[in-house]
Amino acid sequence: MGHGEPEGDADGRRQAGRSRGLHRRRVRGPPLQRACGEPGAGDRGAIFPPAPRQRDGELHQSRAAHPGADPARRQERSRAALASGDERERHHHDQVTRIVATAALPALGGADADRYRYRYIIAITVSLASVLELLDTSIVNVAIPHMMGNLGATLDEIAWVSTGYIVANVIILPITGWLSAYFGRRRYFAGSITIFVVSSFFCGNAHSLIALVFWRIIQGLGGGALLSTSQAILYEEFPREEFGTAMAIFGVGVMVGPTLGPTLGGYITDAFGWPWIFYINIPIGMLALALSLSFIQNSRFQQKAERVDYIGLLLLATGIGTLQVMLERGERLDWFDSREVTTYAVISVLSLVAFVWHELTTEHPVVDLRILKSRQLAVGVVFGGVLGICLYATVFVLPVYLQNLQNFTAEQTGFVILPGALASAFTMATMGRFTGKFDGRLSILAGVSIFALSMWKHAHFTTDSGMADFFWPLIFRGVGLGLIFVPLTNLALADLPMSKIPNGTGLFNLMRQLGGSVGIAISATLVQRFTAIHRGDLIANVTQYSELARERLSAIVARLIATGTPAPLADAKALAILDGQVTRQALMLSFEQLFLLFGAVFVLSMPLLLLMHKSKATAGGAAAH
């Protein structure tokens, strides 16, 4: 290799050339004026010490060789460069980062300096876009009853407002890397924001269920690109030593968005009406669009996609789409007792198996599954699925628990959940500053342990628990998740070259989203099943032969009569009240079991950390800078 040229693959060779120029520009002081008799350009040995790679006794003894002096030597250097490129594919993570950290990054100038100069504006831009997408995943759910009344839809019909969005979202996630390469990252990102904003306007103006579901699907197609593309942009636009900060900024939106969505949606719906949960996207989206067109540039590393893999696109859309519909409607239709759900499952399995086979054998795959040969990414994707299960399942369960068992209003529920969300954001911001200074696996281990402790405390709530009782368990949950997200993302992507980062982020986010769908579906099903089991056990003890049951019933009757209920009606009302108390207690026991299950799922996933290696750098993308 030539002087100052870092090792690298095809993605890094442009940077290598840039590094050579940067090394020349690093010479400080005024230009040297050559007087008569002083050595010329080919006689640098009189000014500089011999080049490190100069061979003794060849060409000139006391100075570096002229670039054109020895063709054989140039050929040898070319062969060496190619050999080192192959070596970099196997060892780029440890070798290149050292060169980058000490030489290339500090000397960046021109266009690269501009990229880093605006990195925090870019971070704000992509964070706005990510929060929009994540809020819209959950903000709509609280407005469902209002939509049913306005649009004259049944519960089963109105469910497609959420299902259509999520299905479109998960279909687009794994192909964002390919779409970004095909259209260009800047154009694709700005176009996705435009689609999201325009569809939000039409969602708010929808006067029929069909129109609303149609525009929600379009909105999901636009929103699906925002999450993984934002993550890929941050990896490229931040210098290596600040990757942790970049992922912390991104992670705040990922964690806080789904948590605050229901509360914000409830407030907007009550104050302004359900169309405004869509209209609120327009000014935020317009700001994100203006910033993206001003500051976001095309990737320096991604190669343009030349062919469209129509078969892969069709198989992926069919497989992921039917899987998501099955998860959304399974609990409502009693899972595999329903022919519809069974049909979805069969189509999904066959399509996904065919998709995997096709993508591994085609020359131009729409999703490059070969990157899963990286054990680091494969394990990270699996762990990301577990993270999605526990994150979205608890986001789904907590509001239901607080409003149904504790009788909190939507506003009170928001205030209870908010401290945990802030704790998660603060933890991720702190982790971003220290990422790379210690083993990320230890942070994940600590986060899983703290999350499990939080779930154990959740399992000890009672129907008499107050707002103060939820504070510390929710703080622990937020801190635990915050300790996991940033290191897990960096570890998962650590071995990928920069050109593969968009594919990696797409798969990582897809698994987290699918994990969330699985977690919500399982939670909804288990709450019903556990409640039925516990109710049966409790009712078995509520008989006329139970002294405790007779005492409780007598106390209820006496209270009803004291408040003016006629005696003939008091007995019937007392039985109904006692039945409600039994159901409430059964529901409480169900949530306790569910919280313990979430903690156990995370704890059982900890051995996966043994399959990941310690990452001294923050991501493979660093190597490409």
pLDDT at 85 over 60: no
* Whether CATH 3.30.300.30 fits 115-308: no
216-245 mean pLDDT: 80
Measure the CA–CA gap between 502 and 175, rounded to whole angstroms.
Answer: 9
pLDDT at 455 over 90: yes
Measure the CA–CA gap between 217 and 209, rounded to whole angstroms.
Answer: 12
pLDDT at 175 over 50: yes
pLDDT at 623 over 70: no
* CA dihedral for 366, 369, 370, 372, sign (positive or negative): positive
pLDDT for res 447: 92
Measure the CA–CA gap between 262 and 22, rounded to whole angstroms.
Answer: 51
pLDDT for res 304: 65
Q: Looking at 94-98, 198-202, 310-314, 588-592, which range is the least confident one?
A: 94-98
Highest mean pLDDT among 203-217, 220-234, 553-567: 203-217
pLDDT at 202 over 90: yes
184-194 mean pLDDT: 89
**Plot region of 38 (φ>0 → left; ψ -120 to 50 → alpha; else → beta):** beta
Cα radius of gyration (the chain): 30
Answer with the residue of higher pLDDT: 124 or 52.
124
- Following DSSP, what letter does each residue of 127-180 receive, concatenated? HHHHHHHHHHHHTTGGGHHHHHHHHT--HHHHTHHHHHHHHHHHHHGGGHHHHH
pLDDT for res 224: 81
CATH architecture, range 386-625:
Up-down Bundle (1.20)
pLDDT for res 347: 93
Are 427 and 568 a contacting pair, CB within 8 Å?
no
pLDDT at 476 over 90: yes
pLDDT for res 24: 40
> If pLDDT is split at 50, 70 and 90, which confidence band does 116 have?
low
- Tally helices (H) and strands (E) across the chain: 22, 0
- Average per-residue pLDDT for the chain: 74
Q: How far is CA 387 from CA 209, 321, 381, 453, in A?
A: 33, 21, 10, 16
**Cβ contacts of residue 162 below 8 Å, gap of 6+?**
140, 141, 144, 216, 328
CB atoms within 10 A of CB 83: 12
Q: Are 115-308 and 386-625 equal in CATH topology?
A: yes
Answer with the residue of higher pLDDT: 575 or 449.
449
> If pLDDT is split at 50, 70 and 90, which confidence band does 28 have?
very low
> If pLDDT is split at 50, 70 and 90, which confidence band does 578 have?
confident
Measure the CA–CA gap between 92 and 624, rounded to whole angstroms.
Answer: 9
537-561 mean pLDDT: 76
Are 274 and 146 a contacting pair, CB within 8 Å?
yes
pLDDT at 63 over 50: no
Answer with the residue of higher pLDDT: 409 or 15.
409
pLDDT for res 527: 86
> If pLDDT is split at 50, 70 and 90, which confidence band does 62 have?
very low
182-211 mean pLDDT: 90
Highest mean pLDDT among 16-20, 152-156, 448-452: 448-452
pLDDT for res 446: 92
User: pLDDT by residue (tens digit) across 330-379?
Assistant: 877 878 888 888 999 999 999 989 988 988 888 777 777 888 888 888 99
Q: How far is CA 109 from CA 22, 515, 622, in A?
A: 8, 42, 17
Highest mean pLDDT among 4-8, 35-39, 284-288: 284-288
Answer with the residue of higher pLDDT: 46 or 145.
145
Answer with the residue of higher pLDDT: 320 or 71.
320
pLDDT for res 37: 39
Answer with the residue of higher pLDDT: 594 or 59.
594
pLDDT for res 43: 40
> If pLDDT is split at 50, 70 and 90, which confidence band does 544 have?
low
User: pLDDT by residue (tens digit) across 333-342?
Assistant: 878 888 888 9
What is the 3-state secondary structure of 369-434? HHHHHCHHHHHHHHHHHHHHHHHHHHHHHHHHHHHHCCCCCHHHHHHHHHHHHHHHHHHHHHHHHH
pLDDT for res 102: 34
Are 164 and 216 a contacting pair, CB within 8 Å?
yes
Q: Looking at 125-134, 292-301, 539-548, which range is the least confident one?
A: 539-548
488-506 mean pLDDT: 81
Answer with the residue of higher pLDDT: 93 or 327.
327
pLDDT for res 508: 85
pLDDT for res 122: 84
pLDDT for res 48: 38
Q: Which of 429, 417, 421 is CA-nearest to residue 255?
A: 421
pLDDT at 60 over 70: no
pLDDT at 32 over 70: no
pLDDT at 118 over 90: no
> If pLDDT is split at 50, 70 and 90, which confidence band does 199 have?
very high
Taking each helix axis from N to C terminus, what angle separates 310-329 and 160-172, rounded to the nearest 10 degrees?
Answer: 140
231-238 mean pLDDT: 78
Measure the CA–CA gap between 222 and 475, rounded to whole angstroms.
Answer: 33
Residues in the chain: 625
Angle at 544 between CA 542 and CA 549, to 5 degrees: 45
Task: Give the residue extent of every domain in the chain.
Answer: 1-21+44-92, 115-308, 386-625
175-195 mean pLDDT: 86
